[in-house]
Structure 1
Amino acid sequence: MKFWIVSIFVAYAIASVTALKCITCKNAMSFETCDLEGKQRCMENQNLCETVIRRYNNQLRISKGCKNPKPHRNYPMPNDRPSGKSTKCNGDEVNSFCTCVCEGDSCNTGLDNCIFPISVPTSLQVGHNNCPAPPQSFPHGKIYCENGVCRYQCTSPIYELWPAGRDQNVCGADGHWQYDTPCCARPCPPYVLYDSLSLYHFKPGSIENAIRTLTEIMGSVHVGPESTILAGLSFGYEPVESSVIHFKDGYNINSYGILFGERLQTFQDGTLVNTGAAIQYAIDNMFRPELGMRNHRVPKTISIFTDSNPDDDVQTASENARNLGYIIYVYAFEREGVVFDDDRFLEITGDPKHIFKFGKNFDSFPDTWWKDLQEHFCQDPCAHALHDHEL
């Protein structure tokens, strides 16, 4: 059983390995035109994406493609050599040449890493319109301002500009920018920012459907230090302390799956199901910074996976959790001889949309769960990334 549980979790965590893909073009007259020509799948020995910019009489010619890393070990060092008024990669000469390489799928998208500075000087470089100064940094990307126009680019393959298409901003004659500053955001889901703690209570006959549900949830979100992290606990009459998985151990889906398979407990009929006690235990002993819980900027959830009705007072502990801002879900799995008490489950969640019930024949995860996930955690793409890395 434990090997089967671990195998399911690991299967969801293994990513398929594919060749690098780079934006490819030849002598395009703008970055936008170049990027429209699409991606090329690189050869096995080509682990870098390259951008080459040539300037003839102040007219750009841009080429991009795949590159073998060996001839390029010293880049961008050669581009720091003197040329004209500044260095080899510059915009102050009518004729210049610049090349640079980067790692990651489509990392050579958009403005080039070599030419444009990452930070913006305190004095605004936008001419005479006196717009407010642009941000001094652009998390997960870079910003370049000149002659009343700011351009934005995300520098990580998993981040994209949001709102889409806002890669340029113009300072208007009225002294206001055309748009608010965009951000570099990740798709949500799968990059969902929250601390997710699960409480488990199962009799031996109903565990399989619960495992399928849990693995579908875990397979739909990215688990990592800047997205979802996991914690878990089995409970019956009381919390099983030997089953605890703390948030500090839940940054990786593989390691969590192994611990889950080793520590998950099942309970025989006749065991009291003290769900309220388990919720209060989690609040007091698991939602703690020293055990890996992140700060107030990261939403918190408690998910209860069960095949039984609660036997104790759940309202007090659940209200304590909700007053702390924690969102509570119940996932109830049909078991012979058990009729679920929806009123008791509602005492736990405080919201009927947070109760999900599953029959013996597991089919698929309800669409309402996906909708709820997006409503709670994906409304503002600029807010669900820890841009300053303060966890």
Structure 2
Amino acid sequence: MGLFPEQCNDDRDSSLCTCCCTGSMCNRNEKCEPRNCPTVPSTFQNGAVKCSDSNKPGSICEFTCTGEDFTLQPSPEAASSQCLPGGRWSQPEQCCAKPCPPYLPMDYIVLLHAKDQQTLDFYTEAFGHSILTTYKHGQDSMRIALIQFSGAPHPEMAVTLNQTANMDAAGVLKASGNQKHVKTADGKVNTGAALTYALDLIKRHVRDPNRHVEVVDVTTDAMSDDDVTGPAQALRDAGVLTFVRYIRRDSKESYNLTQLLEIAGDKNRVSIVEKNRKPAKDNSLFLQSYVCDNICRFHYGAV
């Protein structure tokens, strides 16, 4: 049975590895052979990297950020990393990124159904304001789309990704605040159709899918009349995070939790909110943690 190099002490030259085996060869000790570390990219986006001896053991790589407003992430204080004998770097993979928050590389698409203008206004004031005023907007950060739907999506009232990419927070707030309630004559609520519309929108306006998070957030005060399982899964298969926020009149109103879970795909991405009351859970905090805690994964396109 062979040796297991991962059992070596990374920080010691010529440390001993113990091979677990059977028979007369059991507990045999051998010296570890130093191993190269993973190759450091020769080009360091929005920065520069200089290594003393490539990716060989003992080599020290120094990182600097040159882009405006860019800092080393995830450890700003760790400007250098050494290749240890066991074949790993002494620091996590570094990248140069803008501070997160307020910069979130994300496309945030809200699919909104409201039975009346009052509920529509409640959404934009209670939820939209928080998202819009907390984070930066633009091509290097967050783009937002707001699309009303009922029996079908209503693109005539949409605030689009391309529009908000060139707006500041005040401009996006004004555009979202100008929403007027619309509905189809049949009175239907087809969330599945809205989810399919969102996927098409993402495909047509996507930036770099490896370096931006795509999010679809369904906010509704009614259960869907059409199938949501297939369209929601199609979004997740395309790498899109799906959320759902159900706004109910009061604590006595029932709802179909199974359907909400089919939309979100995870109970942690389901919110139940009572109309005109402050929500107990804010999706923006989940999104912030998901993106900012893994910012270098998006920088390297390794999501």
The reply to whether residue 359 of structure 1 matches residue 297 of structure 2 is no
Question: Within 5 Å, which residues of 2 pair with 1:1-391?
Answer: 135-143=41-49, 150-156=61-67, 158-162=69-73, 163-169=75-81, 179=91, 182-202=94-114, 203-211=116-124, 212-251=126-165, 252=167, 253-267=169-183, 271-284=187-200, 286-289=201-204, 292-297=205-210, 298-335=212-249, 338-363=253-278, 366=281, 369=283, 372-374=286-288, 376-385=290-299
Structure 1's 363 and 269: CA in aligned 2 closer, same or farther, altered over 3 A?
Answer: farther
Q: Are 1:186 and 1:385, in contact at CA under 8 Å, matched by a contact in 2?
A: no
Work out the CA distance in 2 between the residues paired with 1:169 and 1:210: 47
- Give 1 or 2 for the bigger CA radius of gyration: 1
Work out the CA distance in 1 between the residues paired with 2:270 and 2:86: 52
State the AA in 1 paired with 2:130. Answer: E
SS at match of 1:288: helix
Cα deviation 1:203-223 (Å, max 9, x = unaligned): 223233311212112323322
Deviates more, 1:223-232 or 1:268-277: 268-277
- Number of residue-to-residue matches in the alignment: 254
Shift of 1:172: 7.5
State the AA in 2 paired with 1:326. Answer: V
Work out the CA distance in 2 between the residues paired with 1:155 and 1:277: 45
Work out the CA distance in 2 between the residues paired with 1:304 and 1:280: 12
Work out the CA distance in 1 between the residues paired with 2:38 and 2:222: 59
Q: How much is the aligned-residue C-alpha RMSD, in angstroms?
A: 3.5
Q: Are 1:149 and 1:168, in contact at CA under 8 Å, matched by a contact in 2?
A: yes
State the AA in 2 paired with 1:332. Answer: Y
Work out the CA distance in 2 between the residues paired with 1:383 and 1:226: 16
Structure 1's 288 and 254: CA in aligned 2 closer, same or farther, altered over 3 A?
Answer: farther
SS at match of 1:382: helix
Cα deviation 1:161-188 (Å, max 9, x = unaligned): 2323221345779998755663223333
Work out the CA distance in 2 between the residues paired with 1:281 and 1:150: 46
Gaps of 5+ in 2: 1-35, 54-58
State the AA in 2 paired with 1:166. Answer: A
Cα deviation 1:48-104 (Å, max 9, x = unaligned): xxxxxxxxxxxxxxxxxxxxxxxxxxxxxxxxxxxxxxxxxxxxxxxxxxxxxxxxx
Q: Are 2:70 and 2:96, in contact at CA under 8 Å, matched by a contact in 1?
A: yes
State the AA in 2 paired with 1:138. Answer: F
Structure 1's 256 and 134: CA in aligned 2 closer, same or farther, altered over 3 A?
Answer: same
TM-score (norm 1): 0.55
Cα deviation 1:291-338 (Å, max 9, x = unaligned): x32233133111111122222222222222222222211112222685
Cα deviation 1:326-370 (Å, max 9, x = unaligned): 221111222268532222211211211111122234325626x35
Deviates more, 1:159-168 or 1:336-345: 336-345
Work out the CA distance in 1 between the residues paired with 2:300 and 2:261: 32
Work out the CA distance in 1 between the residues paired with 2:100 and 2:276: 29
SS at match of 1:226: coil
Shift of 1:131: 9.3
Q: Are 1:226 and 1:386, in contact at CA under 8 Å, matched by a contact in 2?
A: no
Q: Are 1:231 and 1:245, in contact at CA under 8 Å, matched by a contact in 2?
A: yes
- Bigger relative contact order (CA 8 A; separation at least 6): 2
SS at match of 2:138: coil
Q: Are 2:151 and 2:188, in contact at CA under 8 Å, matched by a contact in 1?
A: yes
Equivalent residue for 1:119? none
Structure 1's 322 and 136: CA in aligned 2 closer, same or farther, altered over 3 A?
Answer: closer
TM-score (norm 2): 0.69
Cα deviation 1:87-123 (Å, max 9, x = unaligned): xxxxxxxxxxxxxxxxxxxxxxxxxxxxxxxxxxxxx
Gaps of 5+ in 1: 1-129
Work out the CA distance in 2 between the residues paired with 1:335 and 1:204: 14
SS at match of 1:383: helix
